[in-house]
């Protein structure tokens, strides 16, 4: 799980129907704008709450390799303002990243256990 994105995203993005959508398979897609103004689609993998903060787990659509057992997951501080505009900021603190990663792994393990039951 990574916290920084080599594409240097703007990380602040307002969602509307044209950019927060589901793809053909029903996966949630978030579009972020990189430093060069290019749009990069990400799969929304989940939201982790830790110490009264929320962290979005995102995976760039173009980095998903169906044949690979590993996938890069990027962690962003996530918030919404009173108008519902969402904000994503990269997490740079390695200690915080490790704590978010542990919480995310626990969340995914619990979800997997529930699916198997």
Domain boundaries, the chain: 21-116
- Check if the beta carbon of residue 5 is closer than 8 Å to that of residue 74: yes
The yes-or-no verdict on residue 13 having pLDDT over 60 is no
> Which pLDDT band, with edges at 50, 70 and 90, does 65 fall under?
confident
pLDDT of residue 88: 94
The helix/strand/coil state of 8 is coil
Q: Which residues lie below 8 Å from residue 57, measured CB to CB, with a gap of 6+? A: 1, 44, 45, 46, 47, 48, 73, 74, 75, 104
Nearest in space to 38 (alpha carbons), one of 79, 11, 64, 9: 9
Higher pLDDT, 27 or 105: 105
Give the pLDDT confidence of 23-58 residue by residue, as tens digits.
555 569 999 988 899 999 999 999 999 999 999 999
- Check if the beta carbon of residue 48 is closer than 8 Å to that of residue 107: yes
- Check if the beta carbon of residue 7 is closer than 8 Å to that of residue 40: yes
Dihedrals φ, ψ of 114, to 5°? -65, -40
CA distances in angstroms from 17 to 60, 61, 112, listed in the order given: 19, 18, 30
Q: What is the DSSP letter of 66?
A: T
């Amino acid at each position: 799980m990574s916290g920084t994105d080599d594409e240097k995203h703007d990380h602040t993005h307002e969602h509307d129907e044209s950019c927060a959508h589901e793809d053909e398979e029903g996966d949630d897609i978030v579009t972020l704008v990189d430093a060069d103004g290019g749009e990069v689609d990400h799969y929304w993998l989940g939201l982790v709450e830790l110490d009264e903060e929320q962290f979005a787990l995102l995976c760039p659509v173009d980095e998903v390799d169906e044949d690979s057992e590993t996938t890069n997951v990027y962690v962003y501080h996530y918030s919404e303002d009173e108008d519902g505009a969402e904000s994503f900021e990269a997490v740079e603190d390695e200690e915080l990243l490790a704590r978010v990663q542990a919480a995310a792994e626990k969340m995914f393990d619990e979800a997997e256990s529930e699916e198997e039951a």
